[in-house]
Chains A and B, each alone.
Chain A
């Protein structure tokens, strides 16, 4: 059974710092991996989608990498801002119409 782990569960950093969030998965045979952001009391917002054939994706200050062989993905946030404070979740898709498998998220606080 695919398991997705996100470490740390919570992270607090000062504004302006570059940071890395980690995601690991047990089954490397994935189709894609998706990073989401969730603000308190809100739904999930898709940040980046990495297909299994890709190594990384970038959007603004965000960069996500994927290493299937080691079962790892990282989300790099450059020059963090207080508005980046949220919970970040990663999820993997195994195949076909199987549903996404989610990690429990990393709660990020960026202190001004």
Chain B
């Protein structure tokens, strides 16, 4: 199993450009998450998806959009990138069923710089 994979690993954008970060998991997990990690701020949740076709806002959703069309994929979009979105982005997934809440697995991250 590849676990959670993210593409690209690195990206440099100019202010105003758009892009999509891709995340895939092969563990048949129903829940998927997007976080950003900034120095001194820790991990902050951007969006999450409890199941295919559903998404919910996290702590810092402004400037982002997401798509969960397939169970194994969760896409994070930046419509008009801003320097404040320079960060490391992590995707994660887990399996939640009824009262069973299992561990989250993380991808390797995407380092995004917005100039």
Question: A-side interface residues toward B, CB under 8 Å?
Answer: 31-32, 34, 36, 42-46, 49, 51, 89, 91, 93, 96-97, 99-100, 102-105
Within 8 A of A (CB), among B60-112: 90, 92, 96, 101-109
Closest to A93 in B: B101
Question: B-side interface residues toward A, CB under 8 Å?
Answer: 4, 31, 33, 40-43, 45, 48, 50, 56, 58, 90, 92, 96, 101-109
Distance, CA A32 to CA B50, complexed state (A): 17
Chain B residues within an 8 Å CB radius of A43? 4, 90, 106-109
Pick the contact of A44: B40, B48, B90, B96 (CB < 8 A).
B90
Chain B residues within an 8 Å CB radius of A44? 90, 92, 106
State the Cβ distance, B82 to closest chain A Cβ, in Å.
24
Distance, CA A2 to CA B103, complexed state (A): 19
Chain B contact surface mostly? strand
Chain A contact surface mostly? strand
Distance, CA A51 to CA B96, complexed state (A): 13
Chain B residues within an 8 Å CB radius of A89? 42-43
Given contacts A91-B43, A100-B33, 15 further A-B contacts (CB under 8 A): A34-B104, A36-B106, A42-B108, A43-B4, A43-B107, A44-B90, A46-B103, A46-B105, A51-B101, A89-B43, A96-B96, A99-B48, A103-B42, A104-B40, A104-B42
Distance, CA A102 to CA B107, complexed state (A): 16
Q: Of residues B43, B50, B58, B108, which shows the largest number of chain A Cβ atoms within 10 Å of its Cβ?
A: B43
Closest 3 CB pairs of A and B: A104-B42, A44-B106, A97-B50
